[in-house]
């Protein structure tokens, strides 16, 4: 049985800005070998913008960051909501709060739909 995966990512304008910053830092990096590490900052931001986000399917949530990921089974999620900044958060059964990268509070219905369950008050 194949389940649909819903993907949430940060705004891709961040990736474009990282590419422009990398190109802009090239003249500085070519001025001397000791300036080459300056290129690592836009490179890291670009990789983060391309990779970081949240993926959800009927089985689990996958929270991806720059250098790793965390998998959380849906049965561990007690509550989904939005924080004061409008970011989506999940409360786990042990009380831990997880900010869901790339997911805004307004996108919670789409996230819940990935579980295959209905929201209260919505017809199927």
- Rounded CA-CA distance 9/32 in Å is 36
Say how many C-beta atoms besides its own lie within 10 A of residue 111's C-beta: 19
Condensed to tens digits (0 to 9), the pLDDT of residues 52-102 reads: 999 998 889 999 998 899 999 988 999 899 999 999 999 999 999 999 999
pLDDT of 122 higher than 80: no
**SS3 call for 85:** coil
CA angle 52, 23, 64 (to 5 degrees): 5
pLDDT surpassing 60 at residue 41:
yes
Bridge-partner residues for 92, per DSSP?
77
Helices assigned H by DSSP within the chain: 13-29, 40-51, 108-113
For residue 2, what pLDDT is reported?
A: 54
């Amino acid at each position: 049985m194949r389940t649909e995966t819903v993907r949430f990512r940060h705004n891709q304008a961040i990736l474009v800005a990282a590419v422009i910053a990398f190109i802009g830092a090239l003249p500085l990096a070519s001025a001397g070998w000791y300036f080459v590490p300056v290129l690592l900052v836009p490179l890291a931001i670009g990789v983060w913008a391309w990779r970081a986000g949240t993926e959800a399917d009927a089985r689990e949530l996958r929270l991806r960051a720059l250098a790793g990921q965390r998998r959380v089974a849906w049965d561990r999620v007690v509550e989904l909501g939005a924080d004061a900044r409008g970011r989506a958060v999940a409360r786990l059964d042990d009380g831990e709060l997880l900010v869901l990268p790339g997911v805004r509070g307004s996108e919670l219905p789409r996230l819940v739909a990935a579980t295959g369950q209905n929201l209260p008050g919505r017809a199927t």
